[in-house]
Each structure stands twice: as C-alpha cells, then as structure tokens.
Amino acid sequence: MMLLVVNSGSSSVKLAAFEGTQQRAQAQVDRIGSGGPPDHAEALALGVAQLAVPARQIRAAAHRVVHGGAELTRTCRITPAIEQTIAACATLAPLHNPPALAGIAAVARLWPGLPQYAAFDTAFHASNPDVATTYALPAAERARGVRRYGFHGLSYAAIVRNMQHCYPNGVPKRLLSFHLGNGASSCAIVDGHSVASSMGFSPLDGLTMGTRPGGLDPAVVLDLVARHGLEQTAQMLNRGSGLKALGGSNDIRALHAARTPEAEFAIAHFCYWAARHGASLCAAMGGVDAITFTGGIGENDGICRSNILNHLAFLGAVMDGDANARGEKALHAATSRVAVWIVPADEERQIAIETAAAMSREGQT
C-alpha cells in the first residue's frame, strides 16, 4: 500500500508515492490552466498515470499545506473543520493555501472516501517562544492571531532528521539553516527545535525572494495601498517584487547569465539580506555551531553560498572554496569554527513520515 504525497502549486502539482519511508515513484505536472491540464483534478490524474502506481494501491493522500495558523501544529487527518481552518489562512499564504485546497478537492473528486492528511509548514515553528512570535500590537489584534508563524517548517524538520541520521555528530546544538529557493527563509534551531524564523505572519517577510520583497517597513505597504489599492498591492508584493523586480527575473540562474548591473545588484541584495537575517537569528541562539543550506539555490548555487558566508565570516565560518565549487556535503575549511553543510531538501519524505505517525495515532496501519 502506498501513500500519495501531493505538493500543489498555483500552476503545478508534484507527486511522490511512498511505501513506508521509501519513495517508489515521483511525477510533476506543470502549466495547469495555461496550456496544460485545465484544473488540479486533471493534473492529479495525469500525475498518477506518470507514477504508474495503480490507484487501488493508494492507501491515503498527504498534502503539503503552507499555513496552518495557530491551531494546526502537527500533521493531521483532513476533516471539514480542518479544511475550513486551512481556507481561513488562505489570505496569509495566497500563493500556497488555495492550490493546496484545490489539490485536496481534486483528490476527493477522483477517489471519494480516500483518507487525506495535511502536513503544515508552520508546525515546526510552534516551539518558538512567545517573545519571538509576538508583535507589539494591541491585545485585540494579538487575540485574533496576528503574530509571527514562520514557514518552510517541513524543510527544516527534514534537515534536523537527516543531520541526526547522516552526520557523525548529529544535530549541532545551535544550527542556522537557510532554505533558499524562489521562496527563501532562515531558521534558528536549538537542540533540534525551532526558536526563531525570518518569516512572520505570512511568507512575505524576511529574506529577498524570487517574487516577494522580504522585510518591509509597514509604512511602505500603507503607501502602496493608498496609491494602488489593496488588490494591486497584494499582487505586487506576492508576484512582482523580489529578484524579479530588482533584476528582471526570479530565476537566479538567469540573473547569473545576464551579468547586467541590475542582475548583479539583485544577487548581491539576495545574499546581503540572507546573511543579515541569519546574523539576527544567531543572536536568538546566543551564537552558532553549524550552518546548513538547502533548496534549489542553497544546494546548487556556490556563488550565493560563498557570498552569504563571506558576510558571516565574523561568526567564525570559513568556507573551503574547492568543496563549495564541487557542491560537496561538507563546505567548512579546517580552520572554520563553524561547520557548514549542504543538506538536500527532503520535504516529501518528511510529509510521509509525519503522515505515518498521524495514521499510527489513529490506530491505522
């Protein structure tokens, strides 16, 4: 019996079939609604056909959900109430929660009665102390859930798990982790638990990203809304900012290839703000013992890794340039006081593991 892991984007669906913790197949369907399949239901059907896993072997489906709010802090079975909570958080993660809901609805239409589970990117950060999550706002606003949540939690949980199992000394006490891709964040992890994150109320905050600006003075948002209206401002902040606004593309590879002053500035901006937020997170931990990089940029872009670590050299992080150029797992030089690692993203397996634990709590096999 297989578990189908579903990662639904606005125009794509990634699928992986797991037997226990072993991935048996994977597939991806792109261009939903723009020349490809017309909707997520058709995309799922195409993806399952690519997997070549008989539908009768699928025991359950598990979905990546970016925002679970304050209530949903561990992987759980999807019920109408859970679905309503995910929908209530959709305005806070407009690029992610609506596609996840579309994926959930598509699975329900294709396989009525199939158990479905949700794994939340916010859940890993539930261990953050109140001082790290509380905004200095009136009590009424705080009471309705306006606070920092943090995201990319499934990626960070997978990093902790893989470092426990794959590296000689296990998880360092104070770990600064960077998830760098079209979405980008950093996280402070102490004894395997998140204590602070660069992202906040939504995935807009923190580092410069592919199409999102990262940290902004709230007065900037007020000014943009006054000039452009709420809907156009939301579109600008979610889809028209970040690297795309600075350099003309949200693809870091295209920026490297362009070599224009604008592209070079965009890359420098990305690295500067990654390091600046990373240094702030080190203050939350009282120092740092190791740094990890994951995600499409974190795993594959040696130039960005080098630039970020150059900014953090004052912490005692010294990179082995040759190891970095080769993309080796261990990037630290012999003289470095801080270990530096590449840890490949492993979110789908993390979802499978957490879903198996949720099913076990229910007494299912």
Single-letter amino acid, residue 237: L
CA dihedral 93, 98, 104, 108 (to 10 degrees): 160
Q: Provide the 3-class DSSP secondary structure of residue 354.
A: helix
Catalytic residue among 30, 121, 217, 289: 121
Give the H or E element holding residue 349.
helix 347-361
- Nearest in space to 66 (alpha carbons), one of 155, 146, 131: 155
Classify each residue of 195-234 as buried b or exposed e, where b means 16 or more C-beta atoms within 10 Å of its C-beta. bbbbbbbbbbbbbbbbbbbbbeeeeebeebeeeeeeeebb
Note if 121 is an active site residue: yes
Longest CA span, the chain? 59
Task: Provide the CB-side half-sphere exposure for 182 (13 A, CA).
Answer: 12
CA distance 193 to 319: 26
Residues 6+ apart with CB under 8 A from 112: none
DSSP 28-52: EE--TTTTS-SSHHHHHHHHHHHHT
Give 95's DSSP letter.
Answer: T
> In Å, how far are 68, 143, 188, 193, 240 from 120, measured between CA atoms?
6, 21, 18, 16, 26
Residue 152 phi, psi dihedral angles, 5° rounding: 60, 25
Instruction: Indicate which residues carry an active-site annotation.
Output: 121
